Protein backbone atom coordinates (compact mmCIF):
# COMPACT_ATOMS: atom_id res chain seq x y z
CA UNK A 1 0.00 0.00 0.00
CA UNK A 2 1.36 3.39 -0.95
CA UNK A 3 -0.72 5.55 1.30
CA UNK A 4 -0.62 9.33 1.05
CA UNK A 5 -0.35 10.77 4.51
CA UNK A 6 -0.33 13.99 6.45
CA UNK A 7 2.40 14.33 9.04
CA UNK A 8 1.89 10.88 10.52
CA UNK A 9 0.13 7.95 8.94
CA UNK A 10 -2.50 6.06 10.84
CA UNK A 11 -4.01 3.89 8.17
CA UNK A 12 -4.46 1.20 10.76
CA UNK A 13 -6.91 3.47 12.56
CA UNK A 14 -9.78 2.08 10.56
CA UNK A 15 -12.53 -0.28 11.55
CA UNK A 16 -11.81 -3.64 13.12
CA UNK A 17 -12.96 -5.39 9.97
CA UNK A 18 -10.43 -3.61 7.79
CA UNK A 19 -7.64 -3.84 10.31
CA UNK A 20 -7.91 -7.59 10.77
CA UNK A 21 -7.34 -8.36 7.10
CA UNK A 22 -4.73 -11.00 6.27
CA UNK A 23 -1.16 -10.05 7.12
CA UNK A 24 -0.26 -11.05 3.56
CA UNK A 25 -2.68 -8.55 2.01
CA UNK A 26 -0.56 -5.52 2.81
CA UNK A 27 -2.21 -4.42 6.02
CA UNK A 28 0.82 -2.59 7.40
CA UNK A 29 1.46 1.01 6.29
CA UNK A 30 4.44 1.53 4.05
CA UNK A 31 5.65 4.70 5.73
CA UNK A 32 4.69 7.50 8.06
CA UNK A 33 6.00 10.65 6.38
CA UNK A 34 5.15 11.41 2.76
CA UNK A 35 7.03 14.21 1.03
CA UNK A 36 4.93 16.85 -0.72
CA UNK A 37 4.57 16.34 -4.46
CA UNK A 38 6.17 19.73 -4.99
CA UNK A 39 9.41 18.32 -3.57
CA UNK A 40 9.30 14.71 -4.79
CA UNK A 41 7.39 13.08 -7.64
CA UNK A 42 9.18 9.73 -7.82
CA UNK A 43 7.92 6.31 -6.73
CA UNK A 44 7.13 5.98 -3.02
CA UNK A 45 8.69 3.42 -0.70
CA UNK A 46 6.87 0.09 -0.45
CA UNK A 47 7.04 -2.16 2.60
CA UNK A 48 8.06 -5.71 1.73
CA UNK A 49 5.53 -7.56 3.90
CA UNK A 50 4.48 -10.71 2.05
CA UNK A 51 6.06 -12.80 4.81
CA UNK A 52 6.54 -16.53 4.11
CA UNK A 53 3.57 -18.58 5.32
CA UNK A 54 5.68 -21.70 5.90
CA UNK A 55 9.21 -22.08 7.27
CA UNK A 56 11.75 -21.81 4.43
CA UNK A 57 13.41 -25.10 3.55
CA UNK A 58 17.03 -26.17 3.81
CA UNK A 59 17.78 -24.63 0.41
CA UNK A 60 17.30 -21.18 1.95
CA UNK A 61 20.22 -21.61 4.34
CA UNK A 62 22.80 -18.94 3.38
CA UNK A 63 25.77 -20.34 1.49
CA UNK A 64 28.17 -18.19 3.51
CA UNK A 65 27.54 -20.44 6.53
CA UNK A 66 30.23 -22.74 5.15
CA UNK A 67 32.77 -19.92 5.58
CA UNK A 68 32.38 -19.68 9.36
CA UNK A 69 35.86 -20.17 10.84
CA UNK A 70 36.31 -23.43 12.72
CA UNK A 71 38.12 -21.56 15.49
CA UNK A 72 36.93 -18.13 16.61
CA UNK A 73 39.87 -15.75 16.85
CA UNK A 74 40.28 -12.02 17.46
CA UNK A 75 42.52 -11.96 14.37
CA UNK A 76 40.19 -10.34 11.86
CA UNK A 77 41.94 -11.86 8.85
CA UNK A 78 40.52 -15.26 9.84
CA UNK A 79 37.06 -13.66 9.47
CA UNK A 80 37.62 -11.71 6.26
CA UNK A 81 36.29 -14.37 3.83
CA UNK A 82 33.18 -14.82 5.97
CA UNK A 83 32.53 -11.07 6.16
CA UNK A 84 32.97 -10.62 2.42
CA UNK A 85 30.48 -13.40 1.72
CA UNK A 86 27.92 -11.93 4.14
CA UNK A 87 28.29 -8.55 2.44
CA UNK A 88 27.75 -10.17 -0.94
CA UNK A 89 24.67 -11.95 0.41
CA UNK A 90 23.20 -8.64 1.62
CA UNK A 91 23.95 -6.63 -1.50
CA UNK A 92 23.41 -9.18 -4.24
CA UNK A 93 20.37 -8.23 -6.29
CA UNK A 94 19.61 -5.21 -4.10
CA UNK A 95 22.05 -2.49 -5.17
CA UNK A 96 20.90 -2.42 -8.80
CA UNK A 97 17.26 -1.94 -7.73
CA UNK A 98 17.93 0.73 -5.13
CA UNK A 99 17.11 -1.62 -2.25
CA UNK A 100 13.52 -2.08 -3.43
CA UNK A 101 14.03 -5.49 -1.94
CA UNK A 102 10.69 -7.06 -2.91
CA UNK A 103 11.94 -6.84 -6.53
CA UNK A 104 15.16 -8.76 -5.85
CA UNK A 105 15.41 -11.56 -8.43
CA UNK A 106 18.01 -13.55 -6.49
CA UNK A 107 16.43 -13.75 -3.03
CA UNK A 108 13.57 -12.06 -1.25
CA UNK A 109 14.03 -9.66 1.61
CA UNK A 110 11.46 -8.21 4.00
CA UNK A 111 10.96 -5.20 6.28
CA UNK A 112 9.75 -4.99 9.87
CA UNK A 113 6.23 -3.51 10.14
CA UNK A 114 5.18 -0.73 12.49
CA UNK A 115 8.26 1.41 11.98
CA UNK A 116 6.18 4.08 10.27
CA UNK A 117 4.90 5.43 13.58
CA UNK A 118 6.13 8.26 15.79
CA UNK A 119 8.44 11.23 15.25
CA UNK A 120 11.31 9.03 14.03
CA UNK A 121 9.06 6.97 11.77
CA UNK A 122 9.76 5.64 8.30
CA UNK A 123 9.85 8.27 5.56
CA UNK A 124 8.22 7.74 2.18
CA UNK A 125 11.07 7.96 -0.35
CA UNK A 126 13.63 5.38 0.75
CA UNK A 127 11.92 3.87 3.80
CA UNK A 128 14.45 5.28 6.26
CA UNK A 129 13.81 5.70 9.97
CA UNK A 130 15.64 8.25 12.09
CA UNK A 131 18.15 6.44 14.30
CA UNK A 132 20.44 8.70 16.31
CA UNK A 133 22.21 12.06 16.42
CA UNK A 134 25.78 12.43 15.21
CA UNK A 135 27.96 14.51 17.54
CA UNK A 136 30.65 16.95 16.33
CA UNK A 137 33.95 15.12 15.99
CA UNK A 138 32.33 11.68 16.14
CA UNK A 139 33.23 10.81 12.55
CA UNK A 140 36.43 12.79 12.02
CA UNK A 141 38.42 15.62 13.58
CA UNK A 142 37.40 17.82 10.64
CA UNK A 143 33.68 17.25 11.31
CA UNK A 144 32.61 20.29 13.34
CA UNK A 145 28.84 20.18 12.87
CA UNK A 146 26.30 17.75 14.28
CA UNK A 147 24.15 15.51 12.11
CA UNK A 148 21.79 12.58 12.22
CA UNK A 149 21.61 8.97 11.14
CA UNK A 150 18.86 7.32 9.06
CA UNK A 151 18.61 3.61 8.32
CA UNK A 152 16.63 0.80 6.72
CA UNK A 153 16.89 -2.83 7.81
CA UNK A 154 15.93 -5.97 5.90
CA UNK A 155 15.43 -9.63 6.91
CA UNK A 156 15.95 -12.72 4.80
CA UNK A 157 13.12 -15.22 4.33
CA UNK A 158 14.16 -17.33 7.35
CA UNK A 159 13.87 -14.37 9.70
CA UNK A 160 10.83 -12.98 7.89
CA UNK A 161 8.86 -16.16 8.53
CA UNK A 162 9.15 -15.46 12.26
CA UNK A 163 8.16 -11.81 11.74
CA UNK A 164 5.06 -13.03 9.95
CA UNK A 165 4.23 -15.36 12.83
CA UNK A 166 4.61 -12.58 15.42
CA UNK A 167 2.27 -10.36 13.38
CA UNK A 168 -0.01 -13.10 12.04
CA UNK A 169 -2.90 -11.45 13.86
CA UNK A 170 -2.19 -7.75 13.20
CA UNK A 171 -4.48 -6.79 16.09
CA UNK A 172 -2.62 -8.97 18.59
CA UNK A 173 1.07 -9.51 17.82
CA UNK A 174 2.64 -12.43 19.66
CA UNK A 175 6.27 -11.94 20.80
CA UNK A 176 6.43 -15.46 22.19
CA UNK A 177 7.74 -16.53 18.78
CA UNK A 178 11.11 -14.95 19.58
CA UNK A 179 11.32 -15.78 23.29
CA UNK A 180 12.58 -19.00 24.86
CA UNK A 181 12.15 -21.80 24.11
CA UNK A 182 11.86 -20.16 20.69
CA UNK A 183 14.03 -17.57 18.94
CA UNK A 184 14.75 -16.41 15.42
CA UNK A 185 15.66 -19.60 13.50
CA UNK A 186 19.15 -20.65 12.56
CA UNK A 187 20.05 -18.91 9.29
CA UNK A 188 18.24 -15.64 9.99
CA UNK A 189 20.15 -12.73 8.43
CA UNK A 190 19.54 -9.04 9.04
CA UNK A 191 21.23 -6.33 6.96
CA UNK A 192 20.88 -2.65 7.80
CA UNK A 193 22.11 0.21 5.61
CA UNK A 194 22.82 3.44 7.52
CA UNK A 195 23.02 6.93 6.06
CA UNK A 196 24.36 10.19 7.46
CA UNK A 197 22.70 13.56 7.07
CA UNK A 198 25.99 15.42 7.37
CA UNK A 199 28.21 17.71 5.29
CA UNK A 200 30.24 15.01 3.50
CA UNK A 201 33.04 17.51 2.77
CA UNK A 202 33.91 17.52 6.48
CA UNK A 203 34.35 13.73 6.65
CA UNK A 204 37.29 12.46 4.55
CA UNK A 205 36.06 8.87 4.20
CA UNK A 206 32.77 10.12 2.71
CA UNK A 207 34.58 11.27 -0.43
CA UNK A 208 32.81 10.00 -3.56
CA UNK A 209 29.61 9.57 -1.55
CA UNK A 210 26.80 7.21 -2.42
CA UNK A 211 23.71 9.38 -1.95
CA UNK A 212 20.03 8.55 -1.47
CA UNK A 213 17.07 10.90 -1.46
CA UNK A 214 15.12 10.95 1.78
CA UNK A 215 12.49 13.04 3.55
CA UNK A 216 14.44 14.09 6.62
CA UNK A 217 14.11 16.52 9.51
CA UNK A 218 16.24 19.65 9.76
CA UNK A 219 17.94 18.44 12.94
CA UNK A 220 17.60 15.33 15.09
CA UNK A 221 15.14 17.04 17.45
CA UNK A 222 13.24 18.90 14.74
CA UNK A 223 9.92 17.81 13.24
CA UNK A 224 10.21 19.98 10.12
CA UNK A 225 11.02 17.80 7.11
CA UNK A 226 12.27 18.37 3.59
CA UNK A 227 13.68 16.27 0.77
CA UNK A 228 17.45 15.99 1.16
CA UNK A 229 20.32 13.71 0.20
CA UNK A 230 21.88 11.40 2.76
CA UNK A 231 25.20 9.57 2.37
CA UNK A 232 25.79 5.85 2.88
CA UNK A 233 28.14 5.56 5.85
CA UNK A 234 27.74 2.08 7.34
CA UNK A 235 26.15 -1.34 6.91
CA UNK A 236 25.45 -3.65 9.83
CA UNK A 237 24.82 -7.38 9.64
CA UNK A 238 23.39 -9.82 12.17
CA UNK A 239 23.41 -13.60 11.68
CA UNK A 240 21.63 -16.17 13.83
CA UNK A 241 23.93 -19.18 14.06
CA UNK A 242 23.44 -21.96 16.60
CA UNK A 243 27.16 -22.77 16.39
CA UNK A 244 27.85 -19.56 18.36
CA UNK A 245 27.67 -20.89 21.90
CA UNK A 246 27.41 -17.83 24.16
CA UNK A 247 24.89 -15.66 22.35
CA UNK A 248 23.74 -17.52 19.25
CA UNK A 249 24.40 -14.42 17.13
CA UNK A 250 27.19 -12.83 15.10
CA UNK A 251 27.13 -9.06 14.54
CA UNK A 252 29.34 -7.31 12.00
CA UNK A 253 29.83 -3.78 10.69
CA UNK A 254 31.11 -2.23 7.47
CA UNK A 255 32.20 1.40 7.06
CA UNK A 256 32.13 3.47 3.90
CA UNK A 257 35.49 4.52 2.48
CA UNK A 258 35.13 6.45 -0.77
CA UNK A 259 38.81 6.01 -1.58
CA UNK A 260 38.42 2.28 -2.25
CA UNK A 261 36.96 2.57 -5.75
CA UNK A 262 37.24 6.32 -6.30
CA UNK A 263 33.55 6.59 -7.17
CA UNK A 264 30.17 6.26 -5.48
CA UNK A 265 29.83 2.54 -4.97
CA UNK A 266 28.51 -0.03 -2.48
CA UNK A 267 31.89 -1.73 -2.84
CA UNK A 268 33.35 1.13 -0.81
CA UNK A 269 31.97 -0.61 2.28
CA UNK A 270 35.00 -2.03 4.09
CA UNK A 271 34.79 -4.30 7.15
CA UNK A 272 35.19 -2.77 10.59
CA UNK A 273 34.94 -6.10 12.37
CA UNK A 274 32.76 -8.82 13.79
CA UNK A 275 31.73 -9.90 17.31
CA UNK A 276 30.03 -12.94 18.82
CA UNK A 277 30.15 -12.02 22.51
CA UNK A 278 30.59 -9.09 24.89
CA UNK A 279 33.79 -10.21 26.67
CA UNK A 280 32.07 -9.91 30.06
CA UNK A 281 35.31 -10.30 32.05
CA UNK A 282 37.06 -7.35 30.41
CA UNK A 283 36.22 -4.24 32.46
CA UNK A 284 38.89 -1.75 31.40
CA UNK A 285 38.32 1.57 29.65
CA UNK A 286 41.68 2.39 28.05
CA UNK A 287 40.55 1.76 24.46
CA UNK A 288 37.36 3.84 24.51
CA UNK A 289 37.86 6.46 21.80
CA UNK A 290 34.82 8.76 21.22
CA UNK A 291 36.58 11.24 18.89
CA UNK A 292 38.99 9.16 16.82
CA UNK A 293 42.17 10.11 15.08
CA UNK A 294 43.07 6.42 14.98
CA UNK A 295 41.30 3.09 15.45
CA UNK A 296 42.29 1.74 18.87
CA UNK A 297 42.21 -2.07 18.85
CA UNK A 298 42.05 -3.81 22.22
CA UNK A 299 44.05 -7.09 22.04
CA UNK A 300 42.53 -8.32 25.32
CA UNK A 301 39.09 -8.80 23.72
CA UNK A 302 38.57 -12.40 22.66
CA UNK A 303 35.01 -12.14 21.28
CA UNK A 304 35.57 -9.18 18.96
CA UNK A 305 37.77 -9.10 15.86
CA UNK A 306 38.63 -5.67 14.41
CA UNK A 307 40.10 -4.99 10.98
CA UNK A 308 43.69 -3.80 11.58
CA UNK A 309 44.33 -2.76 7.96
CA UNK A 310 44.69 1.03 8.31
CA UNK A 311 45.02 1.41 4.53
CA UNK A 312 41.49 0.05 4.21
CA UNK A 313 39.64 1.10 7.38
CA UNK A 314 39.53 4.85 8.14
CA UNK A 315 40.03 5.91 11.77
CA UNK A 316 36.91 5.05 13.76
CA UNK A 317 35.90 5.10 17.41
CA UNK A 318 34.56 1.51 17.77
CA UNK A 319 32.52 0.68 20.89
CA UNK A 320 33.22 0.62 24.62
CA UNK A 321 36.84 -0.31 25.27
CA UNK A 322 37.33 -1.47 21.69
CA UNK A 323 34.28 -3.71 21.30
CA UNK A 324 32.65 -3.62 17.89
CA UNK A 325 30.55 -0.63 16.89
CA UNK A 326 30.33 1.46 13.75
CA UNK A 327 31.09 5.16 13.15
CA UNK A 328 27.51 6.35 13.78
CA UNK A 329 27.05 4.11 16.84
CA UNK A 330 27.49 4.81 20.54
CA UNK A 331 31.19 4.64 21.55
CA UNK A 332 30.09 3.57 25.06
CA UNK A 333 28.25 0.48 23.77
CA UNK A 334 28.69 -2.46 21.41
CA UNK A 335 26.57 -4.05 18.71
CA UNK A 336 25.63 -6.96 20.95
CA UNK A 337 25.23 -4.95 24.15
CA UNK A 338 22.54 -2.74 22.60
CA UNK A 339 20.70 -5.48 20.76
CA UNK A 340 20.57 -7.93 23.66
CA UNK A 341 18.29 -5.45 25.50
CA UNK A 342 15.59 -6.01 22.87
CA UNK A 343 12.46 -7.25 24.65
CA UNK A 344 8.76 -6.72 25.11
CA UNK A 345 7.70 -4.90 27.14
CA UNK A 346 10.81 -2.75 26.64
CA UNK A 347 11.88 -2.10 30.23
CA UNK A 348 15.63 -2.09 29.67
CA UNK A 349 17.63 0.94 28.62
CA UNK A 350 19.90 0.27 25.65
CA UNK A 351 23.00 1.49 27.47
CA UNK A 352 24.02 2.21 31.08
CA UNK A 353 24.70 5.86 30.18
CA UNK A 354 21.03 6.39 29.25
CA UNK A 355 20.05 7.35 32.80
CA UNK A 356 20.45 10.33 35.09
CA UNK A 357 23.11 8.71 37.28
CA UNK A 358 25.04 6.13 35.25
CA UNK A 359 26.85 3.43 37.24
CA UNK A 360 30.65 3.43 37.50
CA UNK A 361 32.29 2.41 34.22
CA UNK A 362 33.34 -1.25 34.39
CA UNK A 363 31.54 -1.89 37.70
CA UNK A 364 29.08 -4.73 38.32
CA UNK A 365 26.02 -2.66 37.38
CA UNK A 366 27.71 -1.35 34.24
CA UNK A 367 28.70 -4.86 33.19
CA UNK A 368 25.08 -6.02 33.13
CA UNK A 369 25.06 -4.45 29.65
CA UNK A 370 28.15 -6.43 28.64
CA UNK A 371 27.15 -9.93 29.65
CA UNK A 372 26.48 -12.74 27.18
CA UNK A 373 22.77 -13.52 26.91
CA UNK A 374 21.65 -16.57 24.90
CA UNK A 375 19.31 -16.13 21.95
CA UNK A 376 15.70 -15.84 23.06
CA UNK A 377 16.48 -14.89 26.67
CA UNK A 378 15.16 -11.46 27.74
CA UNK A 379 17.39 -8.86 29.36
CA UNK A 380 14.79 -7.94 32.00
CA UNK A 381 13.05 -10.58 34.16
CA UNK A 382 9.34 -10.87 33.45
CA UNK A 383 9.54 -9.71 29.83
CA UNK A 384 9.66 -11.61 26.55
CA UNK A 385 12.76 -11.53 24.39
CA UNK A 386 12.59 -10.18 20.87
CA UNK A 387 15.86 -12.06 20.33
CA UNK A 388 18.35 -9.28 19.66
CA UNK A 389 15.91 -7.47 17.34
CA UNK A 390 15.52 -3.85 18.38
CA UNK A 391 13.38 -3.35 15.29
CA UNK A 392 10.87 -5.89 16.60
CA UNK A 393 10.83 -4.52 20.14
CA UNK A 394 10.39 -1.01 18.75
CA UNK A 395 7.63 -2.14 16.41
CA UNK A 396 5.71 -3.75 19.27
CA UNK A 397 6.14 -0.63 21.41
CA UNK A 398 4.89 1.52 18.55
CA UNK A 399 1.87 -0.68 17.96
CA UNK A 400 0.78 -0.74 21.60
CA UNK A 401 1.47 2.94 22.05
CA UNK A 402 -0.95 3.62 19.19
CA UNK A 403 -3.43 1.00 20.30
CA UNK A 404 -3.48 1.88 23.99
CA UNK A 405 -2.41 5.48 24.38
CA UNK A 406 -3.40 7.25 21.18
CA UNK A 407 -6.98 6.20 20.56
CA UNK A 408 -6.61 3.27 18.21
CA UNK A 409 -10.07 2.89 16.64
CA UNK A 410 -11.94 -0.41 16.62
CA UNK A 411 -15.27 -1.44 15.19
CA UNK A 412 -16.80 -1.93 18.64
CA UNK A 413 -15.55 1.44 19.82
CA UNK A 414 -13.62 -0.15 22.68
CA UNK A 415 -9.95 0.35 23.31
CA UNK A 416 -8.75 -3.24 23.68
CA UNK A 417 -5.90 -2.25 25.97
CA UNK A 418 -8.27 -1.58 28.86
CA UNK A 419 -7.93 -5.28 29.63
CA UNK A 420 -4.15 -5.30 29.79
CA UNK A 421 -2.75 -5.81 33.27
CA UNK A 422 0.69 -4.57 32.28
CA UNK A 423 -0.33 -1.36 30.53
CA UNK A 424 1.92 0.71 32.76
CA UNK A 425 4.94 -1.18 31.42
CA UNK A 426 4.35 -0.28 27.78
CA UNK A 427 6.94 2.16 26.54
CA UNK A 428 5.22 5.46 25.87
CA UNK A 429 6.02 7.59 22.84
CA UNK A 430 7.66 10.95 23.39
CA UNK A 431 6.19 12.28 20.17
CA UNK A 432 4.83 15.83 20.16
CA UNK A 433 1.08 15.73 20.72
CA UNK A 434 0.25 17.52 17.50
CA UNK A 435 2.26 14.93 15.55
CA UNK A 436 0.77 11.71 16.82
CA UNK A 437 -2.27 12.06 19.03
CA UNK A 438 -4.58 12.97 16.18
CA UNK A 439 -5.32 9.76 14.29
CA UNK A 440 -5.81 10.42 10.60
CA UNK A 441 -7.15 8.37 7.76
CA UNK A 442 -5.57 8.15 4.39
CA UNK A 443 -7.29 10.53 1.93
CA UNK A 444 -7.84 7.49 -0.30
CA UNK A 445 -10.24 6.12 2.30
CA UNK A 446 -12.49 9.17 2.65
CA UNK A 447 -15.07 7.39 0.51
CA UNK A 448 -15.61 5.04 3.45
CA UNK A 449 -17.16 7.85 5.51
Q: pTM, whole model, 2 decimals?
A: 0.87
Domain that holds residue 231: 16-448
6 within some domain = no
pLDDT at 20: 29
Distance CA 379, CA 416 (A): 27
290 within some domain = yes
Least confident of 9-13, 66-70, 156-160: 9-13
- What pLDDT digit, counting tens, does each position of 418-446 carry? 544 443 344 333 333 333 322 222 333 22
Question: Over 60: is that where the pLDDT of 1 sits?
Answer: no
Sequence-separated (6 or more) residues with CB below 8 Å from residue 130 = 119, 120, 121, 148, 149, 150, 216, 217, 220
- What pLDDT digit, counting tens, does each position of 55-96 carry? 999 899 999 999 999 999 999 999 999 999 999 999 999 999
Taking residues 112-136, report their average pLDDT: 96
9 within some domain = no
Distance CA 79, CA 73 (A): 8
Of the pLDDT bands very low, low, confident and very high (cuts 50, 70, 90), residue 404 is: confident
pLDDT at 405: 77
- What pLDDT digit, counting tens, does each position of 188-216 carry? 999 999 999 999 999 999 999 999 999 99
Give the residue from 405, 443, 441, 394 showing the smallest Cα distance to 9.
441
Question: Over 50: is that where the pLDDT of 7 sits?
Answer: no
DSSP string, 435-447: HHTS----GGGGG
Which has the higher per-residue pLDDT, 162 or 172? 162
The number of distinct structural domains making up the chain is 1
Of the pLDDT bands very low, low, confident and very high (cuts 50, 70, 90), residue 407 is: low
Taking residues 99-120, report their average pLDDT: 96
- What pLDDT digit, counting tens, does each position of 296-337 carry? 999 999 999 999 999 999 999 999 999 999 999 999 999 999
Give the residue from 79, 199, 203 showing the smallest Cα distance to 147.
199
Of the pLDDT bands very low, low, confident and very high (cuts 50, 70, 90), residue 415 is: low
339 within some domain = yes
Taking residues 236-241, report their average pLDDT: 98
Q: Chain-wide mean pLDDT for the chain?
A: 87
Q: CA separation (Å) from 195 to 84, 168, 312, 406?
A: 20, 31, 20, 30
| Contact of 31 with 46, CB cutoff 8 Å | no
8 within some domain = no
pLDDT at 71: 96
pLDDT at 422: 43
pLDDT at 26: 61
pLDDT at 96: 95
- What pLDDT digit, counting tens, does each position of 259-287 carry? 999 999 999 999 999 999 999 999 999 99
Which has the higher per-residue pLDDT, 400 or 379? 379
4 within some domain = no
pLDDT over 90 for what percent of the chain? 82
292 within some domain = yes
Of the pLDDT bands very low, low, confident and very high (cuts 50, 70, 90), residue 414 is: low
7 within some domain = no
- What pLDDT digit, counting tens, does each position of 13-62 carry? 322 222 323 333 468 999 999 999 999 999 999 999 999 999 999 899 99
Amino acid sequence: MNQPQGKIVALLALTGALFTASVHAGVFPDFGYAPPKSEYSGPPFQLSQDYPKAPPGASSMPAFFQHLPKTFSNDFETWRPYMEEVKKYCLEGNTEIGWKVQKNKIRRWYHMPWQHYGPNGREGISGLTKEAPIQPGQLASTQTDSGQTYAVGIYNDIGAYTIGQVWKDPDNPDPSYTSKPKSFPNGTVVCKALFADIDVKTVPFLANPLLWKAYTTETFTSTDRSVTQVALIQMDIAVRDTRVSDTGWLFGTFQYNGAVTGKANWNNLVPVGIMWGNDPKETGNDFTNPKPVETKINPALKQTAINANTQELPPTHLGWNGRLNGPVDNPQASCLSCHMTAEYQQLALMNPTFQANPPPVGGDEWMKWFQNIPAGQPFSPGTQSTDYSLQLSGALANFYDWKCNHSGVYADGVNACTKLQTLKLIKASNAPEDEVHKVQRSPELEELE
